[in-house]
Every structure is written in structure tokens, then in C-alpha cells.
Structure 1
Amino acid sequence: MYAIVDIAGKQFKVTQDQFIYAPALEGEEGASVEFDNVLLVDNDGAVKVGTPTVKGAKVTAKILSHVKDDKVIVFKKKRRKGYKKKNGHRQALTKILIETIK
């Protein structure tokens, strides 16, 4: 059984007992979170597609930790002008454990 869920503007294909790194979510570590923006549910071949969401479908998850992604280097340059800029960025993520799909 799997579901496609919209979490903070991104779509994830989730199964039970799966770890996911989602964009930063509100909540403390150990807190339970429910997602009701379920776009598709597959229960052993019985597929339900939502218009736009599946009615009554929910995915519950547990927040494990708040982490940062790997550093991305942003480098800008204009040739022959002496212009160079170097910046770094680390995206805030939340590690969650999918507990149930209903």
C-alpha cells in the first residue's frame, strides 16, 4: 500500500514505515503530524485517484528531527568586469517517519 501526498508544496510517494526528508515543518521532535492532502492511494491494486484529493484519506507521521541539507554553492561571475560573488545555502529539512496510511 502506498500513497502520493502533498507535503508543504512537494509531492511524495510514501509507504508505511518509510523515512522522508520533507521541507521544514512546524512542530517539535516526537510530535505527530497528519497530512490530508492525499492525491492518490493504492491498496494492493485498488487505485483511488483524488479530484484533487481523496476524500477521507489521511497519512499520519512522526517528526524525528529537524536537519539541514547539504551545502549548495552559488557562484556568480561576469567576465572581464572583475565581478565575482560566492554564496552558500543550506535548506532546512524535517526528517519524518510515515506511521499509517488510512
Structure 2
Amino acid sequence: MNKYAIIDIGGKQLRVEQGRFYDARHFAPVQYALTLNKKITINRVLLIRQGSSINLGYPWLNDAAVKGRILQGCFKKKMVIQKISSKKKTRRTLGYRENITRFVVDSIHFGDKNPNKY
């Protein structure tokens, strides 16, 4: 827990650490070419903490990147939606499963001259 970053991915903010895996929905960079072990670079880094120093971006840090790779594409648990009309005595049950992408964080870089180079 010495070094972590907060990234903006899929419309949400995630606190990521090196060596751990995370699930993200609407993963824009790999939405069209989802392959196993594909290397990715996430540049939307909001905050990086290294020891006792904290670096904040407004809105993102310019020279920061989180690098990782895709583990797999999977689904969340099924969301069940029930619509009930009390006066008509009718019920309708709908459901869907959200696509999510599981990725692992390999490294967190800050202060590099070229953070996009893997």
C-alpha cells in the first residue's frame, strides 16, 4: 500500500495498486479488439501516492500513466428488472448482463518523459 493511483476508467474512479486485478465496464481502448494479454496504457490518472508524497492532477496528471494488460472479458451478475402494474394486475420481468473487462495493473509511472511507451 506504499504506492497507488486513482484512475478514471469507464466513467468511474478506481483506486489501483500494482499487481492487483480490477473489473471495469465500458473499457474504451479495448472495446473493439479484446484479446488476452493485450498491453494497455491508461493516461487518465487523477492522483498518485508514493510513500508520503501525493501528486494531484487538474483534472489529470500530464506525465503519469498506469500500465497493465487484459486478463479476460466477462459478464457481471444478471440484473433483474421487474415492472408491475397494480391496477392491471400484470407483471413483466426483464434482465440483462453487463459486459466488463478484467485487467491487471503491471506498473504505475510518474515523471517519465514518455509515459505512453510500454
Aligned AA for 1:12? L
Structure 1 segments, 4+ long, off by >2 Å, are none
- The 2-side partners of 1:70 and 1:19 are apart by 18
Within the alignment, does 1:31 sit opposite 2:38 as a pair?
A: yes
Aligned AA for 2:11? G
TM-score by length of 1: 0.94
Q: What's the CA shift for 1:8?
A: 2.2
TM-score by length of 2: 0.82
Query: As a proportion of its length, which structure holds more strand?
Result: 1
Matches within 5 A, 1:43-82: 43-82=50-89
Gapped regions of structure 1 (runs ≥ 5) = none
Residue in structure 2 matching 1:8, options 10, 23, 29? 10
Gapped regions of structure 2 (runs ≥ 5) = 110-118
The superposition leaves residues 56-86 of structure 1 with CA deviations (integer Å, 9 ceiling, x where unpaired) of 0000111000000001110010102123210
Asked if structure 2 preserves the Cα contact closer than 8 Å seen for 1:24 and 1:66, the reply is no
Aligned residues: 102
The superposition leaves residues 18-49 of structure 1 with CA deviations (integer Å, 9 ceiling, x where unpaired) of 11011143231110110000000000010001
Aligned AA for 1:21? D
Aligned AA for 1:70? K
- The 1-side partners of 2:86 and 2:50 are apart by 56
